[in-house]
Amino acid sequence: MHRSSFIILIIIFLSLSLVFPDFFVVYKSLIPILLGLVMFGMGMTIKLDEIKAILKKPFWIFTTLFLQFSIMPLLAFIIVKLFNFPKEIALGFIILGACPGGTASNVIAYICRANISLSIFCTFASTGLAVILTPFIIFFLADESIKIDLIGLLRSTFFIIFFPVLSGLIVKIIFDKQEKNYTKFFPFFSEVIIAFIIAIIFAVNFDSLENISYKMVLGIIFHNLFGLYFALKITNFLKYPIDVKKTIAIEVAMQNSGLGMTLALIHYSKLVALPSALFSLWHNISAAGLVYLWKKK
Residues sharing a CB contact under 8 Å with residue 123, sequence separation 6 or more, in sequence order: 100, 101, 102, 103, 105, 106, 161, 251
Sign of CA dihedral 136, 130, 220, 200: negative
Beta carbons of 50 and 118 less than 8 angstroms apart: yes
**How confident is the chain (297 residues) per 10-residue block, as mean pLDDT?**
66 88 87 82 74 83 94 95 91 91 81 84 85 87 76 75 81 68 69 83 76 88 93 93 91 86 81 85 79 66
Instruction: Please report the domains of the chain, with CATH numbers, ordered by start residue.
Output: 5-294 (1.20.1530.20)
> Alpha carbon of 234 to those of 237, 239, 255: distances in Å?
5, 9, 18
What burial class does residue 80 get, using C-beta atoms within 10 Å of its C-beta: 0-12 exposed, 13-18 middle, 19+ buried?
A: buried
Tell me what pLDDT residue 71 has: 95
Distance CA 267, CA 8 (A): 37
Tell me what pLDDT residue 231 has: 94
Tell me what pLDDT residue 94 has: 93
Tell me what pLDDT residue 1 has: 45
- What three-state secondary structure class fits 149? coil
Residues sharing a CB contact under 8 Å with residue 221, sequence separation 6 or more, in sequence order: 282, 286
pTM attached to this predicted model: 0.81
Sign of CA dihedral 259, 130, 153, 145: negative
The neighbouring-strand residues paired with 255 are 101
